[in-house]
């Protein structure tokens, strides 16, 4: 079983979008997939409920209160676990997930405010021994980019200076909002436009533990 934690100390950065897309991709690949919703807002849970009638359904579990019990309750035979971390959580709040995860994905928006807010969060991740000793890989996802703008380019340049790799750069698109509301993902579609956006995800999918 492999597990991925999607986390950020700042809300509204696309954490749930990334978590649900990773879960959908795993399920569509034929893997038994669990999505642990550690955010009290419950957005990932609602996404999974809307998806429950599909062959590629994802099992949602509540991880907002008792993280360790959630781990112990993961059904046998599960292939992939994706954890949607609570908004506002810092490294110490994520300890139960960091103890078990195989990788951590941190979304970052291309704005000075978001970049500044992410640095302290990454510093608190380093307090965990698995991150500090490089046993737990941390990857950054530059999210909602507009590649043709100077702002996005400056943000990518800034993120490149940080001690963690940028494992994906996702273009800004309203499609993500619509798809999450439907319990779907870009990976559920094979239109030309969908495939273009899927290409943005390819580096992240290659980076994640197999």
As given in the structure block, the two tokens for residue 84 are: 């949607």
Residue 148 has pLDDT above 80, yes or no: no
| CA 64/CA 96 separation, integer angstroms | 12
Mean of pLDDT values over 84-112: 94
Right CATH for 2-205 from 3.40.50.300, 3.90.1150.110, 3.30.2320.50, 3.40.50.1100: 3.40.50.300
| C-alpha–C-alpha distance, residues 94 and 56, integer Å | 28
Write down the domain spans for the chain. Answer: 2-205
Tokens 């035979």 belong to residue: 77
DSSP state of 58: -
pLDDT of residue 147: 76
> Which tens digits make up the pLDDT trace of 9-20?
988 899 999 999
Total length of the chain: 210
Burial classification of residue 199, based on how many CB atoms lie within 10 Å of its CB (0-12 exposed, 13-18 middle, 19 or more buried) = exposed
Could you tell me which residues are beta bridge partners of residue 107? 141
């Amino acid at each position: 079983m492999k597990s991925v934690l999607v986390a950020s100390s700042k809300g509204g950065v696309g954490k749930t979008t990334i978590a649900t897309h990773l879960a959908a991709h795993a399920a569509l690949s034929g893997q038994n997939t669990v999505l642990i919703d550690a955010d009290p807002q419950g957005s990932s849970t609602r996404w999974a409920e809307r998806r429950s009638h599909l062959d590629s359904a994802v099992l949602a579990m509540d991880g907002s209160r008792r993280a360790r019990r959630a781990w112990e309750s993961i059904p046998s035979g599960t292939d992939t676990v994706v954890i949607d971390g609570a908004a506002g959580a810092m490294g110490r709040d994520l300890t139960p997930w960091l103890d078990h995860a195989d990788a951590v994905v941190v979304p970052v928006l291309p704005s000075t405010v978001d970049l500044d807010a992410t640095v302290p969060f990454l510093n608190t991740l380093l307090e965990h021994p698995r991150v500090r000793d490089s046993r737990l890989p941390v990857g950054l996802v530059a999210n909602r980019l507009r590649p043709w703008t100077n702002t996005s380019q400056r943000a990518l340049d800034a993120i490149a200076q940080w001690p963690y790799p940028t494992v994906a750069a996702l273009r800004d698109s309203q499609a993500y909002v619509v798809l999450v509301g439907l319990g779907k993902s870009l990976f559920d579609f094979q239109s030309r436009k969908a495939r273009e956006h899927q290409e943005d995800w390819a580096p992240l999918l290659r980076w994640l533990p197999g």
